Structure 1
Amino acid sequence: MVSCGRNLIDFANVLKAFIGSFYLSIAYWFSQCGLALSLICIVVIALATDYCTNLMIVCKYEIIDRLTIIDKDEQDITAEEKEHQNKERERIGRNLTYAEIANFSLGKKALYVVNAALFITQFGYTVQYIIFLGNTVQSLFPFGDKPYTNTSNVTDDGGLYPVVDNARVTTSPTYNLVVLIPIPFFMACSLLRDVRNLAPISLAGNAAVICGFFATLGIIYNDFHVADEIEYFKWAALPMLFGAVSGAFEGIGTVIPVEASMVGNRHMYPYFLHLTICILALILSSLGISGYLRYGHATQQIIIANLIEENDSIFLTIIYTLICISVMLTYPLQLFPVIEVIENALFLPGKIFGPKTLVVESVNGEGGIQEASETDALIKDKSKVGLAVAVPKSVSAWKRNLIRLLLICAEVGIAILFKDQYAYFGSIFGTIGASVLGYFLPPLIHIKLKRHQVWWGITALNVFLLTVFGVIGGSTSLGLGIKTIVDRMINNK
């Protein structure tokens, strides 16, 4: 029986995987698309995300069942064979990746598509966190009472533009220096090897997010009044809203690693997922409605900018320092899939820096993990040994650590380049992750694996999701998002 503490730890990781910093931009998208349209979009995308995420877990265990089946009648299976089957199920369940699920069901090309989409999406999310931290920390510094030239807001022609929309001249260090503040913490967290080891960070991050959320609502409703010209439907920005809200449900890239980390408790993942989606939908809806009603068309990309304009207090500084901490604590979990993709490409057996011989992990009798070579007597089917292989322990730790540190340095450089495009940057990468990994591939994989085992209505729903949400919604949102962000950068907005 799993303890309450273990349930709490696993739920914390699931929740932290789906909620990051983007909820602070949702009011901006309400101002771009209208109150009713935005609320409908949140509900629909929450339902689609929950359904498609569960499809991935169903497909994972369908593959595990096929790989570990024993071609005998149940009464003829020996105790040794049953033990071997259970060990193989645990090994594969722990190490099987999203890319391998796609490869098994759709072929080699799907593996490359998943790895590329995972890397781009999660890399984009983590860059977005760095942008958020840089802009928010700058906005929390006191503003000067006299003209003050800060190189972070000087354009090439000598003019000034704000670090965040409508910001006043700040006494903070330059943005390029501010973004370096959390980097030592990020680098330290990147060295952790197991998702479950991130549980204390996730618990602290969740607490900070919830406190920040309620504090933000409290400040919004202090001296609350409804802004003029509230609109309900604005269709022009709907594709961007689709990507933004999809991006706000950030967990698609971490579904498989988080579920795999829940050793002995994986059966609880669907329940934790349902609860997480409900919590996040409520947070997005309440903050989006409240922020838009309060600030109307003046709502900023990060609502903190609106609050700081009206409230320059120590209390507000403390609250948004807490939110910055929650974002810092979200970063490590979102970085994990990026690290997994890179390390698998570089360090698995037969890869560029990996060993030439195949070594896989198996589960020992005490439930721990030990290395087993392909000559291990327990591994009877050599054709399945290469599936769900972890990076061997023989790979030097310094090589893996160096790759992780270089990855973070690259993210900092990109965050400096796109520092004024937070909301649009999130929409683009949310679109890539949700359309490919969330709405297109899970229904397609499910159709491939189980179309003859399920009601035809399920298959019809899958076709609808992968076509309308995955292809049409994804391509439209991505195209408009790229055009918008290029235009804004050209115009220095």
Structure 2
Amino acid sequence: MYSTETEHKREGPSLPSSPTEANPLHPPSPVVPPGPPRSQRQYERIGESTGTTFIQTLIHLLKGNIGTGLLGLPLAVKNAGLVLGPVSLLCMGFVAIHCMRLLVKCSNRLSERVNRPFLSYGEAVYTGMESVSWLRRLAPWGRWMVNLCLIITQLGFCCVYFVFLSDNIKQVVEAANATTWDCQVNHTSPTALAGTSFDSRLYMLFFLPAFILLVFTPNLKYMAPLSLLANLVMCASLVLIYYYSLTNIELPINLPLVGKAKDYPLFFGMAIFAFEGIGVVLPLENKMQKPEGFGTVLNTGMGVVTFLYISLGTVGYLCFGDTIAGSITLNLPNCWMYQIVKLLYCFGIFITFALQFYVPAEILIPPVVDRVSGHRRRIAVGLLMRALLVIFTCCLAVLIPELDLVISLVGSVSSSFLALIFPPLLEMLTFHPDGLSPLAVTKNVLISGVGLVGFATGTYSAITELIVRNNPPHGQNLPPSFMLQ
């Protein structure tokens, strides 16, 4: 999700200058002057004199991994089962942390090899492929694949935000007349899940102009205060969601310990979507004052993230059972306190849209703008491209208005490559000249194989389920909660 453009004199294979992963927290950094490689520096802070502290890096890591995917995990646990779901999330957490550490290790080794202080995700894959003679000609395609997955993932996040906002605001608006201050009334029933997908699409179109104006912000630093406020209100909302879920679990619990086999690929897609924060790893490690401590940051931050995922997924499923929706906010009761929780979380997601959109915009727009002459025309073309990308994202959300399927499809299609498939393959490419043990090769092949199987089965299951929901059997009416999941 983050990137830094660096060009300077170096030894080893040359890297073509092309846009890579963008940094949604900071504007693009200036050109880095020649200097000693990473191994000769205490820390590397591109474009600035000081790096981020341990706490700052930890906060950024948490921010990069906690979003709408967290709210969909109770439904993911339902798809896997009350026992298999949390166990799978725990295993996926360990694998995700391991792949993040692999990416950092490979990037450090490759940056030393080409005498550069920092390599982005795409540059690391390019350099790793160039180190293998028979893959050298395909190296540009490796970098292109990483950037394509980043674009799909980030635009997928934006699609999820459209669906999330439309579903939650729709609930608040339609239930406004019946909303009370008594949160104990019908506390086990969701908030007016009735309604058609067409109505949700209208809400998406209503939000479209606001999103277009939001992405016209010339520099994301102007949104820093709003971003901080968004993080605070989202944290407060999560606390209230946890409180409601924990205090409204009904006994005895009669939920399946293991879900249906056909639903497990949907679990995989939703879970890997939530865990897909690997794009923030390299820039954060590079921007630390003492990057040798990044391993502790990674273990601590991802440990917290994994705990949140498992706990909210399990508690949410225990509380709402089979009625759980694509986002747990859709199950909150019809009282003003929890309606405000939805509004606050929606505000946080609205602001976060600009941060997620920054990534594909920085990859796709500059090559088009560079073909235009004249300062004003360049600005106009840039704004037009931004508007068209937002409209494209909205169109995708209108075509797939089911929140859980958007999350599962994005996770299966692109997040599985970034988080599970590429890092193990990159380790084999990076350390190919040194030789890897058979155990390490087997481990990498196994992880990448799981990612490929998850990609294939998750994509197939999400598309199949999407077809079924849009073409139900004749005479069969789907329950309202099914339509809004």
Of structures 1 and 2, the larger Rg is shown by 1
Q: Tell me, what secondary structure is at the counterpart of 1:279?
A: helix
Closer, same or farther: CA 190–258 of 1 in aligned 2, 3 Å: farther
Deviation at 1:174, TM superposition (A): 6.5
Q: Please tell me whether residue 336 in structure 1 is matched to residue 361 in structure 2.
A: no
Out of 91, 116, 125, the residue aligned to residue 157 of structure 2 is 125
Provide the TM-score with structure 1 as the length reference.
0.72
| Map of 1:464 onto structure 2 | 446
Contact kept? 1:424, 1:485, Cα under 8 Å:
yes
Query: In the alignment, residue 281 of structure 1 is paired with which amino acid?
Result: T
| Map of 2:467 onto structure 1 | 486
| Map of 1:380 onto structure 2 | none
The answer for unaligned runs of 5 or more in structure 2 is: 1-42, 44-48, 130-138, 179-189, 473-477
Query: In the alignment, residue 394 of structure 2 is paired with which amino acid?
Result: V
Q: Please tell me whether residue 31 in structure 1 is matched to residue 115 in structure 2.
A: no
Query: In the alignment, residue 131 of structure 1 is paired with which amino acid?
Result: V
Aligned-partner Cα distance in 2 for 1:394–1:268: 45
Q: Tell me, what secondary structure is at the counterpart of 1:221?
A: helix
Aligned-partner Cα distance in 1 for 2:373–2:439: 45
Closer, same or farther: CA 459–353 of 1 in aligned 2, 3 Å: farther
Query: In the alignment, residue 392 of structure 2 is paired with which amino acid?
Result: A
| Map of 2:231 onto structure 1 | 206
Closer, same or farther: CA 456–204 of 1 in aligned 2, 3 Å: farther
Query: In the alignment, residue 270 of structure 2 is paired with which amino acid?
Result: A
What are the superposed Cα offsets for residues 180-230 of structure 1, whole Å, 9 maximum, x if unpaired? 447536643564557x87765554343333221210121223343136531
What are the superposed Cα offsets for residues 14-72 of structure 1, whole Å, 9 maximum, x if unpaired? 2221111121121112222211110011111111111112222222222221222xxxx
Query: In the alignment, residue 442 of structure 2 is paired with which amino acid?
Result: A
Query: In the alignment, residue 298 of structure 1 is paired with which amino acid?
Result: T
| Greater CA drift, 325-334 or 11-20 | 325-334
Aligned-partner Cα distance in 2 for 1:55–1:231: 36
Contact kept? 2:208, 2:390, Cα under 8 Å:
no
Aligned-partner Cα distance in 2 for 1:62–1:192: 36
Aligned-partner Cα distance in 2 for 1:218–1:138: 24
Contact kept? 2:270, 2:408, Cα under 8 Å:
yes
| Map of 2:92 onto structure 1 | 45
| Map of 2:33 onto structure 1 | none
Query: In the alignment, residue 333 of structure 1 is paired with which amino acid?
Result: L
| Map of 1:135 onto structure 2 | 167
Q: Tell me, what secondary structure is at the counterpart of 2:83?
A: helix
| Map of 1:360 onto structure 2 | none
What are the superposed Cα offsets for residues 109-166 of structure 1, whole Å, 9 maximum, x if unpaired? 21222222221121111110111011101111243879xxxxxxxxxxxxxxxxx996
Closer, same or farther: CA 278–345 of 1 in aligned 2, 3 Å: farther
Q: Tell me, what secondary structure is at the counterpart of 1:326?
A: helix
Query: In the alignment, residue 318 of structure 1 is paired with which amino acid?
Result: I
Q: Please tell me whether residue 112 in structure 1 is matched to residue 144 in structure 2.
A: yes
Out of 315, 323, 330, the residue aligned to residue 298 of structure 1 is 323
Deviation at 1:332, TM superposition (A): 2.8
Contact kept? 2:80, 2:259, Cα under 8 Å:
yes
| Map of 1:249 onto structure 2 | 275
Closer, same or farther: CA 181–272 of 1 in aligned 2, 3 Å: farther
Out of 61, 67, 70, the residue aligned to residue 114 of structure 2 is 67
> Which structure 2 residues correspond to residues 83-482 of structure 1 after superposition, within 5 A?
89-90=116-117, 93=118, 96-106=119-129, 107-143=139-175, 167-168=193-194, 175-177=201-203, 180-181=206-207, 184=210, 187-189=213-215, 191=217, 200=225, 202-226=227-251, 229-236=254-261, 237-259=263-285, 262=287, 264=289, 266-307=291-332, 311-343=333-365, 345-346=367-368, 352=371, 396-419=378-401, 421-451=402-432, 452=434, 455-467=437-449, 469-482=450-463
Provide the TM-score with structure 2 as the length reference.
0.73
Closer, same or farther: CA 405–6 of 1 in aligned 2, 3 Å: farther
Aligned-partner Cα distance in 2 for 1:116–1:268: 31
Out of 42, 54, 69, the residue aligned to residue 22 of structure 1 is 69
Contact kept? 1:226, 1:294, Cα under 8 Å:
no
Contact kept? 2:268, 2:458, Cα under 8 Å:
yes
Q: Tell me, what secondary structure is at the counterpart of 1:35?
A: coil
Contact kept? 2:100, 2:281, Cα under 8 Å:
yes
Q: Tell me, what secondary structure is at the counterpart of 1:231?
A: coil
Aligned-partner Cα distance in 1 for 2:51–2:378: 37
Contact kept? 1:9, 1:200, Cα under 8 Å:
no
Deviation at 1:434, TM superposition (A): 2.8
What are the superposed Cα offsets for residues 219-270 of structure 1, whole Å, 9 maximum, x if unpaired? 223343136531111241111111111111131344445555x265655544
Contact kept? 1:226, 1:293, Cα under 8 Å:
no
Aligned-partner Cα distance in 2 for 1:282–1:200: 28
Aligned-partner Cα distance in 2 for 1:345–1:411: 20
Closer, same or farther: CA 210–145 of 1 in aligned 2, 3 Å: closer
What are the superposed Cα offsets for residues 82-106 of structure 1, whole Å, 9 maximum, x if unpaired? xxxxxxx45xx2xx43223222222
Q: Tell me, what secondary structure is at the counterpart of 2:247?
A: coil
Closer, same or farther: CA 9–121 of 1 in aligned 2, 3 Å: same
Query: In the alignment, residue 230 of structure 1 is paired with which amino acid?
Result: L
CA RMSD of aligned residues (A): 3.4
Query: In the alignment, residue 358 of structure 2 is paired with which amino acid?
Result: F
User: In the comparison of the two structures, how many residue pairs are matched?
Assistant: 404
Contact kept? 1:228, 1:296, Cα under 8 Å:
no
Closer, same or farther: CA 37–137 of 1 in aligned 2, 3 Å: same
Query: In the alignment, residue 64 of structure 1 is paired with which amino acid?
Result: S
Contact kept? 1:134, 1:179, Cα under 8 Å:
no
Contact kept? 1:133, 1:179, Cα under 8 Å:
no
Closer, same or farther: CA 18–197 of 1 in aligned 2, 3 Å: farther
Query: In the alignment, residue 132 of structure 1 is paired with which amino acid?
Result: F
Identity of aligned residues (%): 21
Q: Tell me, what secondary structure is at the counterpart of 1:225?
A: coil
Aligned-partner Cα distance in 1 for 2:106–2:54: 23
